[in-house]
Chain A
Amino acid sequence: MEDRQDEHRMLADSVRDFVRADATLSRVRALRETHQSFSREAWSRLADVGWLGIRVPEAAGGLDLGVAELAIVAEGLGRGRLPEPFVEVAGFAAAVIRSGDNDVLARDLLADIASGRRLYAVAWQEDSQDASPARPLCTVQPGGAGPVLTGRKILVTPAEADAYIVSAASADGIALYRVAADAPGLDVSAQALVDGSRVAELRLHGVPVPDGDRLASPGRGLEALEHGVAEAQVLASAEMLGLSEQLLALTNDYLATRRQFDRPLSAFQVLRHRAVNLYIQVELMRAALRQAVRVLDGDDDLAVRQQAASRAKARAGSAAMAVAREAVQLHGAIGYTEEADVGVHLHRIVALSAWLGNAAWHRRRYAALLPRESLEAVS
């Protein structure tokens, strides 16, 4: 336990050094002028330090570590506001791929992720109101030369992925397929989100999928997706924690240095108390995340994992949005400008809060999973 704590501290330190050596905020701003949401060069640096393979088995070139380690990296990259889609690919896509039942394909795809050679994006969502992957309209049906996919997917991130992991319903359940970005019958249109990340809308007009491209069979596909979604929800919460920590630090720096009425702003008690309220929100996120990481690394039961994920994401979604909003206010007019760093973090928080279920969606799910009778007993 002590050893792991030391290892975790060292990992957090190296993430901090990594982002410090990278002009992340100016890269985020420069990328906005392009049609790219991240840099392949920075992506291969993430591969070089091994973090893309944290959840990849050693046989596929990864480190085979836990959600705890992935969350530490996600938090640190969030704090530095690295634009690369770490949680989306090394977290979400890797978790879905690992949970499938085509070991040969999974090993290839995971090796691609760990080496940074290719990026994969999970294409599961069809309705922006629903964060459950249980009801795809996209279908897999027999065609003349084998099965084909037909349907539409939205908010697939990152749009620039080399291939997508597409969920599709068949008579026997939901299956998952690898679909290359240049597959025949696939139309991809990309759109930039508020944080500069890019999401794709996929239109699948009878895209042929050979058996070898089936990552999860109909009996396994939904469970693989659900496991991946839960893990991604926790990792998005970790990134939001890092973003919020940085917003708190920026805000405290500003309050301590900006002078009005011949005093630093931090001399005003009303502002000191508001800064403390932000600090409390950050500590609550940290507590919720710690619990969720422990569950994901220790319990295989899907319902338990989903409840822990909802708890972390409900907290992170609402707390990070509150911290971001208040950070702008405490910066005064400068906080509303494009040049202020708070906005760069706020944009990412808006995107991550909305991704994979917002706070209200997760509160609904959390409440639905509560055991009510046992709680009434202690009144």
Chain B
Amino acid sequence: MTDWNAMSDEAFRQAVRADLEANYPEHLRYPSRRLRWQEVREWYLDRAARGWTAPGWPQAFGGVGLTPAKQLIYIEEQERRGVARGPDQGVVMVGPLLIRYGTEAQQQAFLPRILSWEHIWCQGYSEPNAGSDLASLRTRAVADGDVYIVNGQKTWTTLAQDATHMFLLARTDPAAERKQEGISFLLVDLRTEGVHIRPIRNIAGHEEFCEVFLEDVRVPRENLVGSPNEGWSMAKALLGFERLFLGSPKLARQALGRLHRLAAARELYRDPGFMDQLARLELDVADLGEAYEGFAEQVRAGQPLGADVSWLKIWATETFDRIAALIVASAGSAAAIPGPQSFGDRSVDVLNLYFDAMPATIYGGSNEIQRNILAKQVLRLPE
């Protein structure tokens, strides 16, 4: 078996790049929306057959066991190739959760099925009245014999319609003093009676997330992860270096490429007003890339990320948003036409990034919440 970690970073990068160029299907590069499981299934099953579903998991649990530095390279190369994201909550969240807090029985029951994609997981955190204020969630789980009976509603659940399972946060002790206490982690099979999934159509006309209704859903007690009422601190502890990727320059770079394509087609390089806006955005993305590298160095060195990484998410998503807005403004009257359209011999989708940029400033902790975090934990401003 190849010892990937023993390779030099550059050799590993070249190996990953060559593999993606040879094997990742051309028609799935840089998709214009989040793809459904049926569309990406073949690619991810192929990955699974080669043992590459979970690059970051330890080898003892069926992962590749890459160091953080190598994981970062793997992710960067996927971004570079424009690889479509799969329904990865099992790999990113449930696996690390069970490896750290799960029983041996839970690990044996779930981890192999994540690796094989037999189980596809979705995340049950947000609720209609618990978004930024997640700790005020109201979904209840009441112990009854050998099951918990779960009642409540989850929302903004990404690709729940493709999932077989959901990991969710539910209130198990309503009498707890602080709202962060009394919350537990439960693993729910979505085929259980009482689960209803309703896709939500978004502003771009796509169905990427869902509402999930839970009505007297009976969840085996052995599906509670870790200790009861400790769900909140476990969820916080799971926030690892994934926060770095919320600040990745990839979306902004993709949008900048799109802007250049439109600029070339419409001969905007002759317009000094456009050029000043373009130069501003180019600099915004270049400095984002440099800042991202600074945080990536911390990850590579195995250091935990500080609260300051929140500024990267703000800058990455707001820069993406500004570029997407300039694409629309640069298309003239054609900006109202949805989908790819022809400008001379170039095909350009003017609107999809404009819509994609909108949730980016909201998900993963809205940019307003990120500013709250920075004000409190980095600037230490008294409240």
Chain A: residues with CB nearer than 8 A to chain B?
252, 255-256, 264, 266-267, 269, 272-273, 275-277, 279-280, 283-284, 287-288, 290-291, 311, 314-315, 360, 363-364, 366-367, 370, 372, 375-379
Contacts and interface: CB of A to CB of B under 8 A. Distances in A.
Interface in B233-281: 253-254, 256-261, 263-264, 269, 275-276, 278-280
A379 B257 contact: yes
Q: Is the interface of A mostly helix, strand, loop or mixed?
A: helix
Contact of B382 (A267, A280, A370): A267
Contacts of B382: 256, 264, 266-267
A99 to B, nearest CB: 26
A122 to B, nearest CB: 26
B276 A256 contact: no
Interface in B169-191: none
A315 B276 contact: no
Contacts of A252: 379, 381
B46 interface: no
A379 B261 contact: yes
A111 to B, nearest CB: 36
21 contacts: A256-B382, A266-B383, A275-B381, A276-B374, A277-B371, A279-B374, A280-B314, A283-B308, A284-B315, A288-B287, A314-B279, A360-B276, A364-B279, A366-B282, A367-B282, A370-B279, A372-B269, A375-B257, A377-B257, A378-B257, A379-B254
A288 B280 contact: no
B287 A279 contact: no
A376 B266 CA distance: 13
Given A287-B291, A290-B290, A311-B283, A276 B257 contact: no
Contacts of B278: 367
A264 B375 CA distance: 14
Chain B at the A interface: SS class: helix
A287 B290 contact: yes
B375 A276 contact: yes
B305 to A, nearest CB: 14
Nearest to A307: B286
B378 interface: yes
A267 B257 CA distance: 41
Nearest first, the 7 closest Cβ-Cβ pairs linking A and B are: A379-B257, A272-B375, A363-B279, A266-B381, A367-B279, A378-B257, A287-B291
A375 B383 CA distance: 45
B42 interface: no
Contact of B261 (A276, A367, A376): A376
Contacts of A311: 283, 286-287
A273 B367 CA distance: 10
B252 to A, nearest CB: 11
Contacts of A275: 375, 379, 381
A323 to B, nearest CB: 14
Nearest to B255: A379
A370 B282 contact: yes
B291 A276 contact: no
Given A360-B276, A372-B263, 18 more contacts: A267-B383, A277-B371, A279-B311, A279-B379, A284-B287, A287-B287, A287-B294, A288-B286, A291-B290, A314-B283, A366-B283, A367-B275, A372-B269, A377-B257, A378-B253, A378-B254, A379-B257, A379-B259
